[in-house]
Amino acid sequence: MSMETVSGSQFCRLAEKTEGCGTALQEAKSAGLSREEILHLYTEHAGSVFNFFFYSTGDREASMDLVNDVFLKVLDKSRTYDHRKGDIKVWLFTVARNTLRDHLRSRRRAKPCLAIDEAIGLPAPEHSDPEAAATLKADIMALTKALEALSKRERSLIALKYGAGFRNKDVAELTGLSEKNVALSCAVPFPS
Amino acid sequence: MYINGNDFLNLERKLESMDFYSLLADKDAMYRDFINRLDRREQRSGATARRRVMRPAAIAALIGVIILITGFTVFADSIVGLLKQLKFTGGIANKVEQLELGEEYPPDTNTKIIYEDLEYAEEYKGKSTRFMQKHKFNSLEEAKQVLRFTLPEPKGLDDWELVSVKVFSNGEEILPYAVELIYDKVVTRTPPPPELIGNDGWEKISEGLPEGSGSGSFYVYLTYVGENAAVKIDTTKDINIVQINGIEAVLTGPLPYERGNAYGLTWIQDGIAIKIFPCGCTYDELISFAEAYVSAGSE
C-alpha cells in the first residue's frame, strides 16, 4: 500500500518526538483534544479512515462524510479516551466502526443501495489522464464488486486490514477475534 | 481461485497497492468541510460553555438579589422603626404602634392623647369589674346638682332627645365629675297619605310608638379633667384627627365612616373631656351633634 500504515502506538511515539502530541493524547481523558491536536490526528489518519469506509461501503461521498463524522465524534469523546486501554488509532477505529454501523443501519432504512459505479463516483481530479482514469475506475469497480460478494464479517475484516492498514494483531484487538482467526478470514476470500 | 468470476489473486495485489483516499477522495473539500464543522461546533460549544459559566453566575446573582432585597427589607423596617422612635415620621398612628394596651401612657405632645385601658374590651371578655357603675337620674337638672362642674348646654339638637342621664360611681360613692348622657333621634311623625291608611289610621299607629325612639342614638360622656388635660381614648386602632369648629377632636373608628361600626369622637373643651359615641348615625349627624357641643362651650 502506498498509504502510510503506522499503528496507533507508532503514531504516538512519532508524535511525541515531533509535536508532543503523545503527551497531549495521553492526557486527553481529562482535558480533551485541542483543535490543533484533532487537526493533527485528522491529517495523519483521515486516509486510513476513508479507506476503511470505502472498503466497507463502496460509496465515495458517504466515505468522505463519514470520515469527518468520525473525527468530530473523536473530538467530542476525547475526554473519555483512556490511553491505557489501547492505542489512539485502535480507539479511533472503534469510533469508526460504530459510525459505520450507524450509517449502514440508517442507509438501510433511508434509501436503497446505489449502483456500484454510481456509488464509487469519479476518481479524484489529480487523475486527469482519461485512459489512466478509465483503467483505474475499472480496477476499483472490479474490486468493489469483489467486496460486494463477501459476507459482512469478511468485508469488515478486509476493510480493517487493507483499508485501515491494521496488522492482524490490531484487527484481532479491535474485533475481539483471535489473530489466527483474523488471518484465516482475510485469506479465505483472497486465496494465494 | 475465482469467486464471482473475479481473479482475486490479482485483486489482492491491487488491494495492497491501492489507496482509495488518494485516488477518490476530494481531500481539500473534506478538509474544508471538517474545518467548517469544527468551527460551527466550537461556536456552539463556546455558547454552551458561556451558558455553563453564566448559569452559576446567574444563580449566584439571583441569590445575591434575594439576599439584598431581604436585607434591605429588614434594614428598611429597622429604619422605619427608628424613625418612628425618633418621631421623624410623626403622627399619632406611629405613636400608637409602639404602645401596649393595659398601661398608662404619657400624652402625645402634639395632641395630648392618652390611651386608656380597654375597659370595654375587658367587659367583653367577661371582666367587667373595672367598668364603673352608674346612677341614673330622672332629669338633667337633678344630675347638675350632684356634679361639680358645669355641663355644656348644646343648642340646635332639635332632632335629638335626651333620654338618659347617669352619673358614674365607684360602687361606694357617686363620682361628681363624670356623667353619661344618652340622646335618641326624634322620630319625625309625618302621616302618610290618607289613601294608604285611612283618615285616622296613622294616629293609631303612632300611639303605639314610645316617645323619643328613633333610628339613632348618641352616648355622650362628660368628665371633668381640668385644664391642660389630655384626651383619653380606649383604643389604639383607627385613630384620626378631625376639626370640629376649630377644635381638634380624635375620631376613633375605621375610615371611611360607615354606620354600624364602632366610632368615638373625643376632645377636651373648658377642662371637660367630651366623648361622643354614635349608634346607628351617619357621619354628618355625628359631626353636627359634636358641633352643637362645641358651640355650647364657645358661648
Contact B245/B200 with Cβ under 8 angstroms? Answer: no
Residues whose CB falls within 8 Å of the CB of residue B271, separated by 6 or more in sequence, listed in order: B149, B224, B225, B226, B227, B229
| Beta-carbon separation of A2 and B19 below 8 A | yes
Examine the domain organization and report whether B62 and B108 are in the same domain.
no
Long-range pairs, B153-160, Cβ under 8 A, ≥24 = B153/B296, B154/B292, B154/B293, B154/B295, B154/B296, B155/B292, B155/B295, B155/B296, B156/B288, B156/B292, B156/B295, B157/B183, B157/B289, B157/B292, B158/B186, B159/B185, B159/B186, B160/B184, B160/B185, B160/B186, B160/B218, B160/B289
Contact B276/B219 with Cβ under 8 angstroms? Answer: yes
Examine the domain organization and report whether B34 and B103 are in the same domain.
no
| Beta-carbon separation of A190 and B26 below 8 A | no
What is the per-residue pLDDT for A5? 33
Q: Which one is predicted more confidently, B54 or A165? A: A165
Examine the domain organization and report whether B105 and B66 are in the same domain.
no
Domain-located, residue B5 = no
What is the per-residue pLDDT for A18? 35
Kindly list the residues from chain A whose CB atom is less than 8 angstroms away from the CB atom of residue B49.
none
The three cell numbers locating residue A153: 464479517
Instruction: Write out the residue range of the structural domain in which residue B22 sits.
Output: 11-72
Where is average pLDDT lowest: A106-110, A111-115, B177-181?
A: A111-115
C-alpha distance from residue A93 to each of A162, B24, B74 (Å): 13, 20, 64
Of the partner residues A38, A42, A189, the one whose CB lies closest to the CB of residue B8: A189
Given a cut of 60, is residue B121 above it in pLDDT?
Answer: no
Tell me which of B27, B42, B72 is where a domain ends. Answer: B72
Examine the domain organization and report whether B98 and B158 are in the same domain.
yes
Given a cut of 70, is residue A127 above it in pLDDT?
Answer: no
Kindly list the residues from chain A whose CB atom is less than 8 angstroms away from the CB atom of residue B17.
1-2
Grade residue A46 by pLDDT with cuts at 50, 70 and 90. very high
Examine the domain organization and report whether B197 and B64 are in the same domain.
no
| Beta-carbon separation of B3 and A146 below 8 A | yes
ipTM of the prediction? 0.73
Kindly list the residues from chain B whose CB atom is less than 8 angstroms away from the CB atom of residue A188.
none
Domain-located, residue B175 = yes
Give tens-digit pLDDT for A84-93. Answer: 767 788 888 8
Examine the domain organization and report whether B100 and B68 are in the same domain.
no
A140 touches chain B (CB under 8 A): yes
H or E stretch including A156?
helix A152-158
Given a cut of 80, is residue B200 above it in pLDDT?
Answer: no
| Beta-carbon separation of A60 and B21 below 8 A | no
Of the partner residues B1, B9, B19, the one whose CB lies closest to the CB of residue A51: B19
Examine the domain organization and report whether B120 and B251 are in the same domain.
yes
Domain-located, residue B77 = no
Domain-located, residue B82 = no
What is the per-residue pLDDT for B124? 44
Examine the domain organization and report whether B44 and B152 are in the same domain.
no
Nearest CA-CA partner of B165 in B177, B179, B154, B155? B179
Q: What percent of chain A lies above the pLDDT cut of 90?
A: 8
What is the per-residue pLDDT for A67? 93
What is the per-residue pLDDT for A181? 80
- Most B CBs within 10 Å: which of A68, A118, A192, as the mutation test of the B interface? A68
Give tens-digit pLDDT for A50-59. Answer: 999 988 888 8
Kindly list the residues from chain A whose CB atom is less than 8 angstroms away from the CB atom of residue B20.
50-51, 54-55, 63, 140, 163
The sign of the CA dihedral A147, A150, A153, A158 is negative
Is A163 buried (19+), middle (13-18) or exposed (0-12) by CB count in 10 A? buried
Give tens-digit pLDDT for B158-169. Answer: 888 888 888 877
Residue of B nearest to A123 (CA): B24
Gap from B61 CA to chain A (nearest CA, Å): 29
Where is average pLDDT lowest: A4-13, A40-49, A97-106?
A: A4-13
Contact B101/B236 with Cβ under 8 angstroms? Answer: yes
A99 touches chain B (CB under 8 A): no
Examine the domain organization and report whether B115 and B60 are in the same domain.
no
Model confidence pTM above 0.80: no
Beta-ladder partners of B115: B233
What is the per-residue pLDDT for A50? 92
Domain spanning A8-113+150-187, CATH class: mainly alpha
Residue A79 per-residue DSSP state = G
Contact B155/B296 with Cβ under 8 angstroms? Answer: yes
Q: Which one is predicted more confidently, B166 or A42? A: A42
A142 touches chain B (CB under 8 A): yes
Grade residue A47 by pLDDT with cuts at 50, 70 and 90. very high
| Beta-carbon separation of A68 and B30 below 8 A | yes
Gap from B47 CA to chain A (nearest CA, Å): 16
Of the partner residues B9, B16, B37, the one whose CB lies closest to the CB of residue A1: B16
The three cell numbers locating residue A162: 487493507
Examine the domain organization and report whether B215 and B282 are in the same domain.
yes
Kindly list the residues from chain A whose CB atom is less than 8 angstroms away from the CB atom of residue B25.
47, 50, 60, 63-64, 67, 124
Instruction: Please tell me the distance from the alpha carbon of residue A65 to that of residue A53, in angstroms, as a whole number.
Output: 10
Interface of B with A in 27-56 (CB under 8 A): 27, 29-31, 33-34, 37-38, 41-42
Examine the domain organization and report whether B191 and B118 are in the same domain.
yes
Domain-located, residue B257 = yes
Grade residue A8 by pLDDT with cuts at 50, 70 and 90. very low
How much is the average pLDDT of B124-134? 50
Most trustworthy range by pLDDT among A120-129, B57-66, B80-89, B170-179? B57-66
Q: Which one is predicted more confidently, A187 or B249? A: B249
What is the per-residue pLDDT for A121? 58
> Mean pLDDT over all residues of chain A?
72
Beta-ladder partners of B134: B168
How much is the average pLDDT of B46-58? 73
How is chain A split into domains, by residue range? 8-113+150-187
Tell me which of B20, B37, B72 is where a domain ends. Answer: B72
Domain-located, residue B106 = yes
Domain-located, residue B280 = yes
The three cell numbers locating residue B263: 366610632
Q: Which one is predicted more confidently, B154 or B197? A: B154
Gap from A175 CA to chain B (nearest CA, Å): 21
Angle at B276 between CA B167 and CA B258, to 5 degrees: 145
| Beta-carbon separation of B37 and A162 below 8 A | no
Give tens-digit pLDDT for B207-256. Answer: 544 444 457 888 898 888 777 777 777 676 778 888 888 888 888 888 88
Give tens-digit pLDDT for B165-198. Answer: 888 776 666 777 788 888 888 866 555 565 655 5
